[in-house]
Chain A
């Protein structure tokens, strides 16, 4: 039996909003999940090429070590292994977008109609046509998703979310579980374990996207009023319809910019974000954190699941390769965000140093039957292991 075979795509949890797929569309996703896994192994060659070819050649020529990640990037760009790995990885990610979009765009109207039916007359979906899409989202199509989260190709479009939902399983090779909610589950379990008496009455999830990570929180605290905000209307329509179909009714999805919400001061017991900040911007991140502080009640909890931080003991190569996805999979702010210390970010908004916390979290994966436990090279930018930072507001 081969090691670490990714789960077949049809293991993904079915719900009313999940796009319909043909045999070949599922097969295409299976191919791409395997290709992703394969390339994580090919990536190991980059370190070898760097250490045995790129670095010695540079030192011989210049009589000194490579100074920084920029210089490293210029040198490794000439290496044939790095070239082929990079072009294959880029190509795989573009193919993943093409595969997802070819599934959802051919059924755009049908998906829209399903969402309309599930959302009809519900007060728990609040769209605001005056909500401006933040400039940082207009500047780039995050992870090469043409049109990003907000573009509507038809009226009441939901295809950006349908593409995201069906394809994240491929990009992560199923490591986030059947509902792609491994992040939300991990944070819920951590909170429960850390403070079994924590009983939040009001919870805010910022940058909720298609709502995959807020649903485990809402399910764990069924008596809480949960509000999930995002600026992308297609994401919210889909998220709400998906939640309705999955029988989760205590989440209100609202179209709102996290940097300027309309919530009252000190009105939430818990403010959560999951893989959100690295898709914001250098000034907005502080505005958003100010807003988190403002709406959080004294004694309230805030947690943010993010990409791993750089550490001082990390090698130049390690830092460089971690930035690869940021730049070549179009998540550009991620390449800047690691220059900010989470502690400084939180202190700037009023959180106190003694209340700051930083923990590691690994995705809860309901698909893991043991066959995925073998030693695997870390797939930089894709691994289901994250850095979580946060604080209690005191």
Chain B
């Protein structure tokens, strides 16, 4: 059996062109677009599930469309999920802010400090 996972992502011949001044931008953009693609895939899957459930008479898609939390507990659960999710994906922005607020020593400096401790 071939390693289809690795081979599927193989590079093609020729030096890859980079269009941004910093190749890191290109790298992050490519990863982001791949994730965007997977979100679209998941959205299509959800759509299939909803339609199948409706076809089988288990749920009306209108019910899903009109659903709003009907208890304080559910409201909080859902908003907490959003909060966690956003914090997770914007982690680096938060960390950069913390660094701004509390300028830190480098780990090499800390290693030197510790060496004296």
Residues in A lying within 8 Å of B, measured CB to CB: 23-24, 27-28, 30-32, 35, 77, 82-84, 86-88, 90-92, 94-95, 97-98, 101-102, 105-106, 108-109, 139-141, 144-148, 153-154, 327-328, 330, 332
Contact = CB atoms under 8 A, between A and B. Distances in A.
Contacts of B29: 84, 87-88, 91
B14 A330 contact: yes
A256 to B, nearest CB: 24
A223 to B, nearest CB: 42
B17 A31 contact: no
Contacts of B30: 87, 91, 94
A330 B19 contact: no
Contacts of B14: 140-141, 330, 332
B2 interface: yes
Contacts of B8: 98, 101-102, 105
A87 B12 contact: no
A92 B33 contact: yes
Given A24-B41, A27-B44, A87-B20, A95 B33 contact: yes
A90 B17 contact: yes
Interface in B11-64: 11-14, 16-21, 25-26, 29-30, 33-34, 37-38, 40-41, 44-45, 48
Contacts of B40: 27-28, 30-31
A102 B10 CA distance: 10
The list of the 9 closest CB pairs from A to B, nearest first, reads: A105-B4, A141-B12, A102-B8, A27-B44, A146-B10, A31-B40, A86-B19, A101-B8, A27-B41
B contact residues, range: 20 to 34
B5 to A, nearest CB: 7
Given A24-B41, A27-B41, A27-B44, 19 more contacts: A27-B40, A28-B38, A28-B40, A87-B25, A88-B33, A90-B16, A90-B19, A91-B29, A98-B9, A101-B4, A101-B7, A101-B9, A102-B4, A105-B7, A139-B13, A140-B13, A144-B12, A154-B2, A328-B17
Contacts of A330: 12-14
A28 B39 CA distance: 10
Query: DSSP majority for the A interface?
Result: helix
Contacts of B4: 101-102, 105-106, 108
Interface of B: 1-2, 4-5, 7-14, 16-21, 25-26, 29-30, 33-34, 37-38, 40-41, 44-45, 48
A2 to B, nearest CB: 15
A31 B35 CA distance: 12
A77 B33 contact: no
A147 B37 CA distance: 24
A91 B11 contact: no
Contacts of B7: 101, 105, 146, 153
B19 A83 contact: yes
A83 B17 CA distance: 11
Given A27-B45, A91-B33, A101 B20 contact: no
Contacts of A31: 37, 40-41, 44
A90 B14 CA distance: 13
Contacts of A82: 19
Nearest to B31: A91
B10 A101 contact: yes
B33 A83 contact: no
A92 B45 CA distance: 21
A195 to B, nearest CB: 41
Nearest to B10: A146
A146 B11 contact: yes
Nearest to A86: B19
Nearest to A141: B12
Most buried by A among B7, B8, B33: B8
